[in-house]
Structure 1
Amino acid sequence: MFEFSCTVKAGQEPARKLRQQTAPVERAMLLLIALVFVLRVVPGSAQNLYQNSNVSQKQYDVIVAGGDPEGIAAAIAAARAGARTLLVDTRPALGGLMTRGWLNTIDMNLDSRRRPLNGGIFAEIYRELDDNSFDVKVVEMLFDRLVAREQNLDVIRGALTLLPVAGSQTLPLYRPGQTLCPDDREMSATLTAEIMPPRASEAMTVTLQGIEIVHDHGQITPVSGRFFIDATQDADLAVAAGAGWKNYGEDVWGNIRNMATTLVLRLGNISDAGWQKMCVALGGNSDPGGLLGGTRRSIWGFGDIIKRYSPSTQRVRVRGLNLGRQNDGSVLVNAVLVFGIDGLDRQSRREARQLAEAELPLLLAFLQKNIAGMSEAVLAGVAPELYVRTSRQIATQYTLTVDDVLENRDFVDRACFGSYPLDIQAQVHDHHGDVTGKPEQYAVPLRSLIPVGFSNLMVVGRSAGFDSLAQSSARTIPVGMAAGQAAGVAAVISMKRRLPIDRLASDSSAVDELHQQLTRQGVSIGPNLARPPAIVGHWAYPGLKFMRQRGQISGGYGNEYSLEQPISGKAFANRLVNLFPDLHEHDRRWLYDFCAGQDSLNLGMACKILACLESFAVGDAIASRKILELPPDEVFDGFRQRDLFVSPWPAAKSKWNIALSRGAAYMLLLRWSEQRAH
């Protein structure tokens, strides 16, 4: 045996001295302990109805669709609150992304004292783990043990799919994701629709009556319910019932911009000594921010080496390695990115798997040659499910925004808290991702879990009511499980009070009861003590928000927006092109050519550029040439007369020949865009 400790990743607990056991006798003892653990996990109270259409009853108070961690938390919370609850999933094992997608490292959401936020059911799982990275089989058993304890909870696993029933009509799925349309099984075309269902609205409220559980070979089990929680990854149940939604990215960038999809792979034949070599290599090159390093369970880094890898197609890229050591000695690798995948299209998802699997032999050869400790590694498998990060966002009573997150906002109807960075993963091959900013702590309102136009349906998980930037923080598993727990309790309160869920968030008494019950279930749900960051008081903050809401600027982990630094001509041109993608190609070329030689701009030259773009918009080439001949101070005076530099723009910064700072550029673009819109 040996001991080692390595650099600790930001957000992890201080590294403890951890023993890696290698002797055969000790391994046998571990297997015996694991066997005893499995025997203790066998369901006792909950009905384990795997591939069994004979549910214990035909009517439930709460029905939860989807066995991802969010759905498990929702079902347990509802059962603990006294509701007869049914959890239905299509997979053979609970855990979804954690156990089927092999996403075996938790993106922790911590408070200002570096303690996990929320508590509750997530904490019950987290306390059983020895690291932020975990063994997939152990987590699967932990989920089984949790649901087995609940007297009021039945579980069906291995269903083919399920369909919502509303108005006594069974509704087909519309563009379902992999939860209700598993990629490894075939479904009848009659279970899906080509036409988008009629959209629910506040004027036309939908009440669900039940679901139909479809099994292999076409057998159907109808089950009625009083309340429904959609915990599928893509809100498939809600969409089939008529919930409104947007494709990911449309609200921020004006078009679909899904993050890359990942297929996690498993490597075998990496010895304990090999694992230690990798830890030591990174320990000697660790950075203060914790972006690389290693522990007994996890390793993250080697980005400098991976940059030298050349994939076989531009549809695939490999990023820095996230490695997770499993109890059987194998290593899970989260690193392969596949671009251009539509998570709502089964053929596209299957294409992602094909592209990733075709790349793996080449990647393995590279790792064997270039990563110390991997020279003898072998490919030992791939995850049963893809890690699909984004697809669509549901229209809810309130959409959580990037400003809510980065201003650390609280809400009276808070359902849970988050604090993970706004981590935008790569979207195309030449995009390497952005960190828009890092909140201290923000609240997720209950309204962001309530689809518009429903009286008895909530949505939890990454497709809930978040804008596309806020989603990059709120989609993390700890936030999703806490939101699921809140949804489970809210469902019971809604039924007990006979108060439709679309009215619950505005009922202060019901919200108080929600918080009281969550507190009794071990959730920390008091007022958010985090304050807005100091930058909200900057005179150019409205301009910063304008650009940030459109995905045009990032503050990184330190929220450093450099508002007082000069902006280059190229950076100014980039902002304009991204804000106005409908610019003609020749106008875009002119803009870049004109700005290319400007290491820095003054305010007058920036106004001149905008005036030229105005003339381009109306097709007046003569006016454009005249503007170019005008002195910058004259063009600036014209913009001043249009009130573009009124308060809070400081008088000292509203001179034509002053260097254009980033903050001033953002404010100028905000006000100019507002005038153009009117």
Structure 2
Amino acid sequence: MFRRIRKTILCLCLIPIFLSMTFSYRITESLYRTIPEKLVLPVETGITQASYDVIVAGTDPEGIMAAISAARNGLKVLLVDGRNRTILGGLMTLGWLNSLDLNKAPVNYRLWDKAVFLDKGLFQEWYEGIRGTSFDVNHAANLFHRMVAAEPNIDLVMNTREMAPIMEGHNAVGMRIVKADGTEERVNSKAIIDATQDADIAAAAGAEYTMGREDLGDPNSEMAVTLVFKLSGVTSEVWDELKHHKNTGYDDRSIWGYQEAREYVSSKPKRVKIRSLNIGRQDGDTILINTMQIYGIHPLEPASVQEGLRIGEEEAPLIVDYLKKNFKEFSSLEFAGTAPELYVRETRHIRGEYRLTMADLMQNRDQWDAIAYGSYQVDIQSPNSSNTGAILMSPKQYGVPFRCLVPLKVDGLLVVGRSASFDTLPHGSARVIPLGMATGQAAGAAVKLALERGVSLRDMSRSKDDISELRKRLMQQGMDLRMRHFATPEYAKHKDYPGLLAAVSLGLTIGGYDNKGWALDEASDPKRFAYQLRVVQKKYPEFLSRELEPAALAAESVKRPLTLKQAASMLAMVANAQVVGKNAEEALLAKGWLKQDTLNLISRKDKLTNGDTFMLIRDVLQYGLGVTFI
């Protein structure tokens, strides 16, 4: 009897294991198709009425999700493209960015290796359709087309020549659309969702914004653009060889690594170079590679965009030749073309009712009006050929407020995607498409609620009752808006953590993938501190107006420890603080720009650490200028 029970228990235990193996096999089997799909163009309805509940401008994934969300909430939607496109999906399907930067939930993966994503909702629905961290662009486009076509409440207009908001004072009340045949229509709407990559509609409506790294005092810099290219001839054997290159990560559809590729010397070293390879497998025998970094391109200027495409098209075959000659895994592959559009990472950053900060990410902060959550690392791509870029840090989970979608000074309009109200540094994480798709879903539902309650989108963003109802509806519609519980990061327990928040917000230090690169207890030196002050001066030139003495930047200064006396003197100098009859430390204390509690935390005044210097900078900015990083 006991033996029979034991056998029964064993069989019952094996069933879920067998089912799991079978399910895993089926998913893996469905990830790849030997014969790629043929692209099916979307069915355009045209503009069928004079007025809509909402116009969604932009057919990137964020706009598609906004339109579907609004339609499923019972609104009549016009989804319109303004970039001469004939297919849906934008950056994914025309920029060929076919590898996903995913927002994974901070959960224990030891017993369950299937990723748990933040937000879920429409993104999860779409992801289940493509099944993989990388995808075939035709398959992705066709899936977008089917999802839009399934919504009778969506009218679709593609390949327009121009689109612009119609304004009544500060209120967006519709759009002027110049269609492909040159005819113009003026269409009224009760709201607009701007899902263009660059917040074009919001900017034209008069919304405030910063450009690129302007909020760091560097308005002429923004992250590099990329032209993705294609290789053909990939068999199962070649794919296996590509995956098993040294120090390279991979899954069924994606490969990342090949750090040695950075040694490639381009034909235009100041304008283009490559980084490590991100490889996404398509159906059939092709792969797409995201590696090229092109500098000096101004994405809001059409002529500059064309120059970027030309530079990339000329360089791509040279890169492929280099890969074929230097990596045996690539030797049998052939160059098969470049993407129709550039991958642009950064342009406008709208100023909204709330602006996402690095402190939000460092503190893994939830928000009372969070309508989406992010966790992707803060990936800052290089702005020029002499800058390598960096992973600033890796948050566990942070909330994106609805207020980030509501631009200042413009009513009746929401901005979703990478150009929403994010500071340039946290934008390095919040810009990823899955998070943008979640903001799109939230925007579509928000318009419905605002119309229902007869309130403006701005007033709704300030109402805890309205936002509570919005979050409730989003969760009923498949979104996951839970904030997970996890241990406080070690860096947040350090005595110099307030200074670290300031330093990270100013771009003075890098934590890396593991958040251990801050080196708070490592000794600083005069040269390092001088360069940090010069970075801060860029952001606050009126307050920190004086240049440092050349001696502070001398090469030999790196060999000496930084003392408190030196640091205080340098701070007083750049802040133009008058030191009369006192040393600099006493003068800054007397002004209230340094606090004694901060100085008491310094264990060695003859050998300051990085953490000490961050705290000094934080004090001077907070108590001298009134700037806080919390």
TM-score by length of 2: 0.87
- After superposition, the C-alpha distances for 1:495-548 in whole angstroms (9 at most, x for unaligned) are 111101110022222212211211121001235545764534433222222222
- Residues 670 and 353 (structure 1), Cα distance of their counterparts in 2 relative to 1, 3 Å cut: same
Task: Give the Cα–Cα distance (whole angstroms) in 1 for the partners of residues 122 and 624 of structure 2.
Answer: 50
Q: Percent identity?
A: 35
Match of 1:664 among 597, 607, 612: 612
Q: Matched residue of 1:376: which SS? A: coil
* Other-structure match for 1:157: 158
Task: Give the Cα–Cα distance (whole angstroms) in 1 for the partners of residues 493 and 27 of structure 2.
Answer: 45
* Other-structure match for 2:69: 77
Q: Which moved more, 1:664-673 or 1:111-120?
A: 664-673
Deviation at 1:414, TM superposition (A): 1.1
Contact 1:309 1:366 (C-alpha < 8 Å) held by counterparts: no
* Other-structure match for 2:559: 598
Q: Matched residue of 1:223: which SS? A: strand
Match of 1:299 among 238, 255, 259: 255
- One-letter identity of the residue aligned with 1:60: Y
- Residues 166 and 305 (structure 1), Cα distance of their counterparts in 2 relative to 1, 3 Å cut: closer
1:245 and 2:209 correspond: yes
Q: Matched residue of 1:216: which SS? A: coil
Task: Give the Cα–Cα distance (whole angstroms) in 1 for the partners of residues 482 and 251 of structure 2.
Answer: 34
Task: Give the Cα–Cα distance (whole angstroms) in 2 for the partners of residues 400 and 586 of structure 1.
Answer: 31
Q: Matched residue of 2:419: which SS? A: coil
Task: Give the Cα–Cα distance (whole angstroms) in 2 for the partners of residues 243 and 433 of structure 1.
Answer: 29
Task: Give the Cα–Cα distance (whole angstroms) in 2 for the partners of residues 389 and 334 of structure 1.
Answer: 13
Contact 2:503 2:614 (C-alpha < 8 Å) held by counterparts: yes
Task: Give the Cα–Cα distance (whole angstroms) in 1 for the partners of residues 151 and 244 of structure 2.
Answer: 44
- Residues 592 and 269 (structure 1), Cα distance of their counterparts in 2 relative to 1, 3 Å cut: same
- Residues 363 and 308 (structure 1), Cα distance of their counterparts in 2 relative to 1, 3 Å cut: closer
Taking the TM superposition and a 5 Å limit, the aligned residue runs for 1:469-618 are 469-527=425-483, 529=485, 533-560=489-516, 561-581=518-538, 587=548, 589-593=550-554, 596-611=557-572, 613=574
Q: Matched residue of 1:367: which SS? A: helix
- Residues 556 and 21 (structure 1), Cα distance of their counterparts in 2 relative to 1, 3 Å cut: closer
Task: Give the Cα–Cα distance (whole angstroms) in 2 for the partners of residues 567 and 223 of structure 1.
Answer: 60
Q: Matched residue of 2:129: which SS? A: coil
- One-letter identity of the residue aligned with 2:269: T
Contact 1:577 1:588 (C-alpha < 8 Å) held by counterparts: no
* Other-structure match for 1:127: 128
Task: Give the Cα–Cα distance (whole angstroms) in 2 for the partners of residues 159 and 605 of structure 1.
Answer: 61
- Residues 613 and 371 (structure 1), Cα distance of their counterparts in 2 relative to 1, 3 Å cut: same
- One-letter identity of the residue aligned with 1:300: W
* Other-structure match for 1:57: 49
Deviation at 1:140, TM superposition (A): 0.6
- After superposition, the C-alpha distances for 1:378-407 in whole angstroms (9 at most, x for unaligned) are 221111110000011111111111111221
- Residues 258 and 635 (structure 1), Cα distance of their counterparts in 2 relative to 1, 3 Å cut: closer
Match of 1:219 among 180, 183, 189: 183
Task: Give the Cα–Cα distance (whole angstroms) in 2 for the partners of residues 327 and 424 of structure 1.
Answer: 30
Deviation at 1:16, TM superposition (A): 9.7
Q: Matched residue of 1:558: which SS? A: coil
Contact 2:269 2:385 (C-alpha < 8 Å) held by counterparts: no
Task: Give the Cα–Cα distance (whole angstroms) in 1 for the partners of residues 586 and 546 of structure 2.
Answer: 29
Q: Gaps (5+ residues) in structure 1?
A: 1-12, 168-204, 287-291
Task: Give the Cα–Cα distance (whole angstroms) in 2 for the partners of residues 637 and 455 of structure 1.
Answer: 50
TM-score by length of 1: 0.81
Match of 2:332 among 376, 399, 406: 376
* Other-structure match for 1:88: 80
Deviation at 1:300, TM superposition (A): 1.4
- Residues 361 and 543 (structure 1), Cα distance of their counterparts in 2 relative to 1, 3 Å cut: same
Task: Give the Cα–Cα distance (whole angstroms) in 2 for the partners of residues 594 and 423 of structure 1.
Answer: 30
Q: Matched residue of 1:246: which SS? A: strand
Q: Which moved more, 1:373-382 or 1:61-70?
A: 373-382
Taking the TM superposition and a 5 Å limit, the aligned residue runs for 1:111-510 are 111-113=105-107, 114-167=115-168, 206-281=170-245, 285-286=246-247, 292-510=248-466
Q: Gaps (5+ residues) in structure 2?
A: 1-22, 108-114
- Residues 521 and 672 (structure 1), Cα distance of their counterparts in 2 relative to 1, 3 Å cut: closer
- One-letter identity of the residue aligned with 1:517: R
Task: Give the Cα–Cα distance (whole angstroms) in 2 for the partners of residues 386 and 369 of structure 1.
Answer: 26
- One-letter identity of the residue aligned with 1:671: D
- One-letter identity of the residue aligned with 1:316: V
Q: Matched residue of 2:305: which SS? A: helix
Task: Give the Cα–Cα distance (whole angstroms) in 2 for the partners of residues 613 and 65 of structure 1.
Answer: 46
Task: Give the Cα–Cα distance (whole angstroms) in 1 for the partners of residues 601 and 446 of structure 2.
Answer: 53
- Residues 468 and 526 (structure 1), Cα distance of their counterparts in 2 relative to 1, 3 Å cut: same
Contact 1:316 1:339 (C-alpha < 8 Å) held by counterparts: yes
- Residues 18 and 478 (structure 1), Cα distance of their counterparts in 2 relative to 1, 3 Å cut: closer
* Other-structure match for 1:186: none
- One-letter identity of the residue aligned with 1:143: F
- Residues 131 and 489 (structure 1), Cα distance of their counterparts in 2 relative to 1, 3 Å cut: same
Contact 1:408 1:531 (C-alpha < 8 Å) held by counterparts: no
Task: Give the Cα–Cα distance (whole angstroms) in 1 for the partners of residues 568 and 414 of structure 2.
Answer: 48
Contact 1:441 1:530 (C-alpha < 8 Å) held by counterparts: no
Aligned length: 590
Contact 1:408 1:530 (C-alpha < 8 Å) held by counterparts: no
Match of 1:108 among 102, 105, 114: 102
* Other-structure match for 2:12: none
Task: Give the Cα–Cα distance (whole angstroms) in 2 for the partners of residues 75 and 612 of structure 1.
Answer: 55
Task: Give the Cα–Cα distance (whole angstroms) in 1 for the partners of residues 597 and 425 of structure 2.
Answer: 27
- Residues 610 and 449 (structure 1), Cα distance of their counterparts in 2 relative to 1, 3 Å cut: closer
Q: CA RMSD in A?
A: 3.0
